[in-house]
A and B are shown apart, each in its own frame.
Chain A
């Protein structure tokens, strides 16, 4: 299962879901789905999110064995 730190890092930078969504060119809902782990983003979107939150992709997303 894909885990992530999007919510935590977004809060650290003080972004709302809408603001982060605008930075990476997706809707607020898509950010919400990613944060909840309901949706695994594409590599492109994962890279954009990592860039916007100033971390490596591996530090933002990781696989957790079920």
Chain B
């Protein structure tokens, strides 16, 4: 189960979210000018912010390449339980039988409870305080990071308890 890609999927999500958080620094900086037309997108940036943005974009591309290689490897080893890279349904649900469905549901319930409280909390903060755009993006990404962390830790705890 430790080698199961579905188990480690939230960790991949968390890594992507961290890179997005760094990328947001570059995109929201006043030193970065993004011009978008119907056919093109041009980005002008100052030295540091430009470097941060460029490094984050490269890191994202590298990570997505590693992710696709790992996913392809998993799919070759598990032809009966292939994961699509472009599926709308999150692949981390482990529902191959009723026991696994039960623990997936428990983890999802924890995530739902977290989202129920954290999203309105973030909305109230943004409404009441003059929060910069970067912090709003970081807030949203922190919630996304949190939901993946909660899901991963709960599934790991449940599966760790199921030792023979």
Contact = CB atoms under 8 A, between A and B. Distances in A.
A27 B100 contact: yes
B161 A38 contact: yes
Contacts, number: 45
A39 B164 contact: no
Interface in A12-43: 16-18, 25-34, 36, 38-39, 41-42
Interface residues of B, number: 14
Given A29-B159, A33-B103, A42 B164 contact: no
A27 B164 contact: no
A24 B126 CA distance: 53
Interface residues of A, number: 19
B162 A33 contact: yes
Nearest to B163: A32
Contacts of B102: 33, 39
A26 B97 contact: yes
A25 B97 contact: yes
A36 B97 CA distance: 17
B164 A30 contact: no
A22 to B, nearest CB: 12
Interface of A: 16-18, 25-34, 36, 38-39, 41-42, 45
